[in-house]
Each structure stands twice: as C-alpha cells, then as structure tokens.
Amino acid sequence: MPATALSIDACWQELQHQRDLDWELDAITDRSEAIAFLKRFENRLCIYSSYVEKLYSNYSFVVPQEAGSITILPDELAWHDTFHDIPADAVEATGVHILPGEAVGETGLYLKVPGEFRLVASRELPFQDGLRLLIERYRARGEHFLPVLVKGDLREYEARMPSLHLHRINPHKLAHCSQLSIDAIRGTIAEHLLALFRQG
C-alpha cells in the first residue's frame, strides 16, 4: 500500500477514535425523538470539528442501539465535500435554534431567532421566514449567514422538545484561505440550506 494511502488510513483511524464527533444524548429526555429530529438534518447542515479544524458536508449519523451518543461519520470518499484549516475562532454561536413546530404548537420546522439588540425579544418563525430574516440581517451587515453544527448543538427546548443550536462560519476569520476556498464553503452551505429550505 502506498505511503499516502497509509497516512490517509491513519488519519481516518484517528478521526474515528477522537470524541469531537460523538454527541452525548444523556441530557435528552426522549432519545428516540431527539435522534429522529437530528436525522432530518443529515447532510443538510454542515458539521464542524474543532479537533481537526474541518468542516464536513457529507456524513452519516451512526446511532448505536444502546449507547448514549451519536457518532458523526464523515464520508471518507467525499474529499471534495470536506473543508480544511477552519480555525475554531471562525465558528461562532448565533443564538438561533431550529425547533420542531410542535414546540410552539405548530407543524413543520421553526427557527427561534434572537432579537437584533439585547433588549429585543427573540421571535419564533416558520423555518423559511426565519431563514429569510437571517439572510437579510447578515447581508445588511455586509456578511453571509453560513450556519453549521458543532458538538453540543443538539439540546432540549421548552417542554423537553429537541432543538438544534446553530453556529456559523465567519468568513472574515478565514483570511488564510483562498477566495476560491471561501466561495466553495459558501456555495456548499447555501446548497445544503436550499435543500433544507425546500424540506422545511
């Protein structure tokens, strides 16, 4: 086996044994409901690993029968869907949560969007409306809304409903990346969001 193939295998072995892509479910009341909710976003939202500073857009959720965690397994053949050298400080919390509509007495997906200013209350909007608002809000600041997930983003909302907190990639903190790489990240996230938008 060539040295490069050996080193690639070693990298994937390390990735499989590190814990950054294992999401604990111990704090979730209804594990099966949380897993079903999370699976709606498989390959719809990119996953960030600070351990290897990579962003994955092609992956699978591996759910053991009895263990208290979900493992995110990137597709090792989808190298073109993996983005490298994304520093942890380029991934920022947004305060935005995706909720099942049932959490607010509705159906479909909802977004809980924080107010633009501290004293302004957050709003719970249908997914498409909330996404439009966020895109416009970031655009007004000369930025792009590039949502991603990180470990710990699966949480419980009021009434013990599962929810996903969204982080985002801040392109201003990717100065070391080429414009081509940044455009590829933006394009991939937008493509995935569009699929989620149609599904939501």
Write out pLDDT tens, residues 4-29. Answer: 555 556 554 554 444 554 545 455 56
Nearest Cα residue to 42 out of 198, 192, 197, 194: 192
The domains of the chain are located at 3-199
The answer to whether the CB of 34 falls within 8 A of the CB of 25 is: yes
Residue 141 burial (CB count, 10 A): 9
- Is residue 45 predicted with pLDDT exceeding 70? yes
The answer to whether the CB of 60 falls within 8 A of the CB of 103 is: no
Residue 121 DSSP code: P
More reliable by pLDDT, 24 or 172: 172
Amino acid 200: pLDDT: 57
In this prediction, residues 106-120 reach a mean pLDDT of: 87
- Is residue 1 predicted with pLDDT exceeding 70? no
Determine the Cα–Cα distance for residues 134 and 171; give it in Å rounded to an integer: 16
Determine the Cα–Cα distance for residues 156 and 165; give it in Å rounded to an integer: 10
